[in-house]
Amino acid sequence: MNLKHFILSVCLFITLSISAQKIKKDSIVIKDVYGLRVGIDISNPARTFFNNKRKSIELLADYRISKKIFVAIELGYLDKNTIEDYINFTTNGQYFKLGANYNLYENWLDMENEVFVGLRYGHANFKQTLNSYTVFSDYALPTIQNNEPITYSALNANWAELVFGLKVETFSNIFLGASFSFKKMISSKEPDNFKNLYIPGFDRVYLNNGGIGFNYSISYRLPLYKKRKANNKGKNDLKNTAE
pLDDT band of residue 140 (cuts 50, 70, 90) is low
141 inside domain: yes
DSSP state of 233: T
* CA nearest neighbour of 128 among 149, 107, 106: 149
pLDDT at 235 over 80: no
Encode burial over 66-103: b for 16+ CB neighbours within 10 A, e otherwise.
ebebbebebebbbbbbbeeeeebbbbbbebbbebbbeb
168 inside domain: yes
15 inside domain: no
pLDDT band of residue 20 (cuts 50, 70, 90) is very low
Determine the average pLDDT of the residues in 156-184.
96
| Count of the separate structural domains present in the chain | 1
Determine the average pLDDT of the residues in 146-168.
93
Determine the average pLDDT of the residues in 71-86.
94
pTM given for the model: 0.78
Determine the average pLDDT of the residues in 78-84.
93
Give CA–CA dist 122/160, Å, rounded: 6
Residue 137: its pLDDT value, please? 63
Residue 138: its pLDDT value, please? 63
pLDDT at 226 over 50: yes
pLDDT band of residue 232 (cuts 50, 70, 90) is very low
Strands in 136-207 per DSSP E: 144-146, 150-171, 174-188, 198-199, 203-204
236 inside domain: yes
* Structural domain that includes position 232: 28-240
59 inside domain: yes
pLDDT at 241 over 50: no
pLDDT at 221 over 80: yes
pLDDT at 141 over 80: no
Residue 237: its pLDDT value, please? 42
Give CA–CA dist 166/203, Å, rounded: 21
Determine the average pLDDT of the residues in 206-215.
92
17 inside domain: no
CATH number at residue 198: 2.40.160.20
More confident residue, 76 or 87: 76
Question: pLDDT tens for residues 23-71?
Answer: 444 446 677 889 999 999 999 988 888 888 999 999 999 999 999 999 9
